Amino acid sequence: MKKYIPVKANNKGTTDLRVELTYDLGGYNMFDYTEKPRGYYLVVTPVTRQSGFESFTAFTGLRKCIKEVKRKSKSAELSAIKEAELVEKQMINHVLTTNKLELA
């Protein structure tokens, strides 16, 4: 699941928020030395879309584990989509506030 939500014009050049539900195998994170759980993650990232390209700035978005799973499956994905709908608005509001953006 991936969707784009347009934002108002701003001095950063951000055009949209990308909201995406992804599956991650999890494992050891070499950057912060922690164990990352396997599961479905909701990611909200401010992006600039122009001329068929998409770019973003590191550390401006938010990522949250929505559902931990033992393996990837269609039923787990459907369950994760339902759970993502419950926290999606909160995450979008947090990213908007943090990056001083407004929805179009």
Look at residue 86 and tell me whether its pLDDT is greater than 90.
yes
Three-state SS across 11-28?
CCCCCEEEEEEEEECCEE
pLDDT confidence bin for 92, thresholds 50/70/90: very high
Average pLDDT, integer, range 32-51: 95
List, for residues 48-74, the tens digit of each pLDDT value: 999 999 999 999 999 999 999 999 999
Looking up tokens 């419950």 gives: 86
Average pLDDT, integer, range 19-35: 92
What pLDDT is stored for residue 31 in this prediction? 86
What pLDDT is stored for residue 29 in this prediction? 85
Look at residue 19 and tell me whether its pLDDT is greater than 90.
yes
* Residue 6, CA distances (Å) to 45, 66, 102 in order: 12, 24, 9
